Amino acid sequence: MLPPIESVAHPSWLPAFDTLPEGITSIRRFLDAETESGRNWLPAPENVLRAFAQPLDQVKVVILGQDPYPTPGHSVGLAFSVAPGVALPRSLSNIFSEMQSDLGVDAPTSGDLTPWSQQGVLLLNSVLTVQSGVAGSHRGKGWEQVTGAALRALKNRTRGAPVAILWGKAAQECGADFDRRGVISSPHPSPLSAHRGFWGSKPFSRANDLLIQAGIAPIEWELA
């Protein structure tokens, strides 16, 4: 069962979700029905809203994904991240390769992106759950309204919008209202599309340049 949002999300996010007619009630009903029908879904309930654990005003960079990894054991509630010890999905492997090329850092030994989240990188999928083994299966079930409300709150906050890294068409559509001066767009890091312009796009150094220009401390992207 999905836990109450106020028990997982930082309180600063709650006004954004209060603007939704039903909050996440309809999504909770949908997930309960999936469980009752024997259809397992990911990530674990306690991790579904994990991206919102950090305060809204401390978000420096938002990286948008589409939906969680459908492979059991992979999705952890942070877009593109996996748990320590889990083999890297190919998209994440490509992200790390670009980071090495962009910043000249060593290859990470873990796909756990928690250190990015703790520095103010919001790793947000537009859809926050998925049926186990069935990619894209929970699109159109209501999550888009929830994550859309979160993105509007970021765009409209007093201190200004964060830098937005938009990988792929879905992310670019989701983040279309961000000020283009603070947006870094490229094809998705998936093996199917990385060769179309993700390689060489330098999103990490470009994001830090934008932060520095705004007088904000850059992200330490290098991972152990």
Structural domains of the chain, with CATH: 5-213 (3.40.470.10)
Say what the pTM is. Answer: 0.95
Q: Specify the pLDDT at position 190.
A: 93
Q: Specify the pLDDT at position 221.
A: 98
User: 45-68, pLDDT tens digit by residue?
Assistant: 999 999 999 999 999 999 999 899
- Please check the confidence at residue 23 and state whether its pLDDT lies above 80: no
- Calculate what percentage of the chain has a pLDDT beyond 90: 83
- Residue 58 CB-density burial (10 A; 0-12 exposed, 13-18 middle, 19+ buried): middle
Residues marked active site are found at 67
pLDDT band at 24 (very low <50, low <70, confident <90, very high): confident
User: 135-186, pLDDT tens digit by residue?
Assistant: 999 999 999 999 999 999 999 998 889 999 999 988 898 888 898 899 999 9
pLDDT band at 86 (very low <50, low <70, confident <90, very high): very high
For residues 147-160, one letter each, b for 16 or more C-beta atoms within 10 angstroms of the residue's C-beta and e for the rest, the string is bebbbebbbeeeee
User: 4-13, pLDDT tens digit by residue?
Assistant: 888 899 999 9
Sign of the CA dihedral running 181, 183, 197, 219: positive
